[in-house]
Structures are given as structure tokens and as C-alpha cells.
Amino acid sequence: MRRIVVLALIAAMVGGLVAVRAQSGKWPDKAYNPKPAPGDLVLPLPTGGAIVFRPVDIPVKGLLKDQVITLGQANQYRFKESPYQVGISGSFRLSNGTWRYWISKYEITASQFEAIMTGKLAGPPSRRPMVNLSWYQTVEFTRRLSAYLIKTGKMPREEESYGFVRLPTEVEWEFACRGGAKVDQVTFRWPTHVSSQPGDCHRLREYVWFGSPTSSKFRLQRVGALKPNKLGIHDMLGNAAEMTFGLFRVMAFDRPLGRLGGVVVRGGSFTDQCSAIRASHRTEVPFFSRRGQPYRSPSVGFRVVIVAPLITSPARRRAYQRSWQLPQAQAGTPIQTLSDPSKIIARMIKDPRLAAWRHQLSQVQRGMTTAIARSNEFHLLSAMSMLRLGASFASVIHGWHHDRVVKIQNFIKAAEASPADPDDPTRAQDITRMKRLLVKVKALEGEYVKTYGGAVQDTTAKYPRDVLRQAYQKQKLKYLAQGKRNLVQFMKVFLDHVIHYRGTGTEEEKWRREIGAVQKI
């Protein structure tokens, strides 16, 4: 009996040593960064682990500057994903004056979550995302991770303040998902960071785990196994859907409504079909289940960002104040408000109580009128530029359709209608090959239509109808003087689509059909 007890104690001690090694040994690099890349920020975790972040840079300079971007997507889910404009900036100021925030390169794994929440690791580190947890647990994770990084001195700093970890806002998440400033404006508006064509499953499969026997096999997959997006971030679409810091709101035509709901989950998961994978995908989940328990889902996980307070020092507070007062100091540049200030000044000039100021007010009025006229002129020139861009896109789509799609379709029809030739065994193979080519050509044509749709959306968001009609007439005269009558037709179609979009959203097949129906002169 004594021998059995001794053996049991030895076994317990050996098991304890193994456990200690598992908890204190350094994780293999692949356990937390399977795809190392330049620019990775690797920060330590308890138990010898680590978490990797990628920089997201916003190329704006100045404290009161941000980048205005268009998020969302025009589709059948307009009440959830209608396009809207919003500003974005970062927390950490770079040496060149631009701004940055950090976002975790991979979804938070079960082992990273365990290391922070318990200080232990029961077994070898896992690369599976942490799922089936509540929003409150994610917030507690960010609190503990922030405290750990600050105590170890590894947390990034901005002036006198440490950064902190939190869930990303919807704007931060979608900006990073779409590729941020690393992609051009057209690519930024694509539904995915891979292709502008929804349901382009062949290309998505290289980047996204979605619900398919040929992709995720409807199972959660290891992080970092597929290709990253343009910012070097993995699995933002598919695999585990991701909780954000925002509360769910439905969309009016051009902005989110003020009514707030549950937790916003972004990106789709390994259970969603390929056609549902897009950067604008938004889902609402409740904070609590019907039984009163914090809501959890086996397909929902999270990633985190590192940001910093805005008022990071007394000097920064004074800098904000100076920046805010700057427009008032430059009185020679009047600002147009909703009420035309020149009209207000005209009434002031007639006021006998202000007779002593009449000359100065008249000078201000003339300067303001000139500034507003210049602003309107620049706005009109900008609208003309967008109409030219839309006309060019429409011209390309028209040429693509008639020179490629229609010709291939006519070839297939003629081949299928011709009698079979027993001496020509390759006829069926040629038809099959041309049908496959037609599918690819239509997909590429679809990408052009998506790009055209982005131009429609941007033009709609930036210019009122009266400005667009003025711009159309001026640009029409220019095109006619240059002998470009065909571009006048394409510009007219584009303008019609912009005006139509204001009321009913995108109709890409209708756009494709109407552009294709234009008769060149």
C-alpha cells in the first residue's frame, strides 16, 4: 500500500512538472504568428505566449483632421448595410505626422484567451479562434491584456499616455477589412478585399474560410492558414465572425439611425455561404439569451485593437485648443453655413444701428461672396470630373459587353445550331471551352460593373441633383466641342443611374443592360 502511495506521489510530481513546463515554456513562433511579415508588432503574453498586431495607418495630418470614407454596400440588405460616409483617424502619431492604430493580425485564439484569463495553459498552444464566449468576457479580456502590457512596459505609448486594448469599432474594423489606405478607392469599395464580384468563391477560397465542403467543411479552422488582406491581416472575413465595440443600428438611406440595439458582429463565419461573405456584413446578437444568460455563439469570436486616449498630455490639450481656434483667426476665409452668411451680412449693412461698421461689413460681404463663388466653382468642377469618370466606366463596360460577351454568345449559338459533323470530334469540346470562357468573361464584366456602381454611390453621396445637372450641361458642351458624342451618351446614362440610385438603391443588371443598349454614333 505504501508503495502505491509513493508511486502516486511521484506521478503527481511528474505531472506537475509537465504542467509547469507547458505553462512557462516559450510558445513556438507558429503558435501565435504562423505567417510572419515585416511590420508585425509582437507583444508578450503570460505562459511564454505572444499576440501579434498589424499597423493601420490613416494618411491625414493635423489634430482636427480625419479621412472621410464610405462604408457599407448597396445590396438587398439596405436597412443593415446602406452606404454612408464617416471619418476615421488613428491614435498614435507617426514621425511623418500621419496617424495609426494597431489591430490584431489574427483572431484571438483559445490559448491566448486562456493565458490572459487564467495565467495558465493546460496543454500545447492552439491556433483555433476563441468562440462561444460573451461580449462581457471579451471586454474583461481586453481589460486584463491592457493591464498586463502596461505592467510589463510593452504597451505602445502616445506622448505621456499608454495605449489600451479594446474591441474595434465598426468603422475601425471595416476600414481594416477593406485594406485601408493600402488600396485605391475603387478596390476599397469592393464587397471583399479579394474581388468586386460577389460569390467569387474560387478566389475567396484562398483567403476566407466560408461554409462549403471545399472551404471550411463547416468547421472552425486554425488562424493564419490562408492568405492575408492588403494590410497583412488574416481571417477578417469568414472563420469566426467577430464582435465589435459598437451597438447595432439600422440604416436610413444615408446614415445610421439613432435607435441602438445589441452587439454588432462583423465579417461572416465558417457557417456562411460564399455569397454572404462581404466586408459590409453586419449581424445583431443580443447581450443576453432568453434564459437570462450572457449570449454566446460557437461561430462568433473576436479580435482587438490598440488605441490611445486623445488628450495624452497638457501640451496635446493646448494643441487641440489652438487647432480649434485656427479657422477663427483666419477671418479672410469665410465659411458657408446652412444659412447663407452673405445674406445675414446684407441685413446687417442695412441696420442703422451698425452704420459705423457699414464699410467693414461691405468688405467682408464681398470677400465672402467671392469665397462662396469659388467654392461652388470647385464643387462644379469636381462634379464634372465624376461625370467624366462615370462616362468612361460606362464606355468600357459597353465595349467589354459587345466585343467579348456578345461575340462569345453568338459563337456558341451558331455552333450549337450548326449540324454535327462526324469528321469533327472537337466541336463539343470547343463549345464547352467557349462556355467556360463566357463564364470568366461575364465575371470580369461584373467587376467592371461593380466599379461603375462604386462611382454611382460616391457621386450620389457627394453631389446634389442641381449641381450634377449643371455639371452635365457644361461637360456635354466640352465633349461636343471635342467630337466625343459617344461619351455624351454614356454620361447621360451615368447621370440617370445616379439620380435613380437615390431612391431605390443599386440595380446592377439594369445598369449593365442599359449601358449595353447604347447605340454608338
Q: Residue 155 has which C-alpha cell?
A: 504597451
pLDDT tens string 98-115: 999 999 999 999 999 999
Smallest CA-to-CA distance from 244 within 209, 211, 270, 279 is with 279
For residue 58, give the 3-state DSSP assignment: strand
pLDDT at 361 over 70: no
Q: Kindly list the structural domains of the chain, giving each domain's residue range(s) and its CATH number in brackets, ordered by start.
A: 17-307 (3.90.1580.10), 374-516 (no CATH)
How many other CB atoms sit within 10 Å of the CB of residue 261? 13
**String of b and e for 358-374 (b: at least 16 CB within 10 Å)?**
eeebeebbeebbebbee
Look at residue 221 in the predicted model and tell me its pLDDT: 97
Higher per-residue confidence, 436 vs 145: 145
Read off the pTM. Answer: 0.65
pLDDT tens string 195-206: 776 667 888 999
Using CA atoms, how far apart are residues 260 and 82, in angstroms rounded to an integer? 17
| Concatenated DSSP letters of 294-360 | BP--TTEE---EEE--S--SHHHHHHHHHHHHHHHH-TTS----SS-HHHHHHHHHH-GGGGGGHHH
Q: Residue 90 has which C-alpha cell?
A: 488613428
Q: Contact at 8 Å (CB) between 255 and 269?
A: no
Averaged pLDDT of the chain: 84
pLDDT tens string 312-326: 999 999 998 888 764
Look at residue 340 in the predicted model and tell me its pLDDT: 56
pLDDT at 158 over 90: yes
Q: Residue 477 has which C-alpha cell?
A: 458642351
pLDDT tens string 256-270: 888 999 999 999 999
